[in-house]
Amino acid sequence: MKLVAGNSNRALAEEISGYLDVPLAQCQVRRFADQEIFIEIQENMRGEDAFILQSTSYPANDHLMELLILIDALRRSSARRITAVLPYFGYARQDRKPGPRTPISAKLVSNLITHAGADRVLTLDLHAGQIQGFFDIPTDNLFAAPVMTRDIKERYVQGNLMVVSPDVGGVVRARALAKRIDAPLAIVDKRRERPGESEVMNIIGDVAGRDCILVDDIVDSGGTLCNAADALLAKGATSVTAYITHGVLSGGAVARIAASRLKELVITNSIEPTAAVVSAPNIRVISIAPLMGEAVNRTALEKSVSSLFN
Contact 125, 142 (CB under 8 A): yes
Q: Which of 16, 6, 2 minimizes the C-alpha distance to 289?
A: 16
Instruction: Answer yes or no: is 223 a known binding residue.
Output: yes
Instruction: Answer yes or no: is 209 a known binding residue.
Output: no
Return d(Cα 220, Cα 271) in angstroms, integer: 12
Show which residues are catalytic: 190
Instruction: Answer yes or no: is 36 a known binding residue.
Output: yes
Instruction: Answer yes or no: is 284 a known binding residue.
Output: no
Instruction: Answer yes or no: is 95 a known binding residue.
Output: no
Instruction: Answer yes or no: is 93 a known binding residue.
Output: yes
Taking each helix axis from N to C end, the angle separating 60-76 and 105-116, rounded to the nearest 10 degrees, works out to 20
Return d(Cα 263, Cα 234) in angstroms, integer: 15
- Burial classification of residue 248, based on how many CB atoms lie within 10 Å of its CB (0-12 exposed, 13-18 middle, 19 or more buried): buried
Return d(Cα 155, Cα 167) in angstroms, integer: 25
Instruction: Answer yes or no: is 102 a known binding residue.
Output: no
Three-state secondary structure readout of 42-75: CCCCCCCEEEEECCCCCCHHHHHHHHHHHHHHHH
Instruction: Answer yes or no: is 28 a known binding residue.
Output: no
Instruction: Answer yes or no: is 57 a known binding residue.
Output: no
- The annotation places the binding site for ATP at 34-36, 93-94
Instruction: Summarize the annotated binding site for Mg(2+) as residue ranges.
Output: 127, 167
Q: Residues within the annotated binding site for D-ribose 5-phosphate?
A: 192, 216, 220-224
> Annotated binding site, which residues?
34-36, 93-94, 127, 167, 192, 216, 220-224
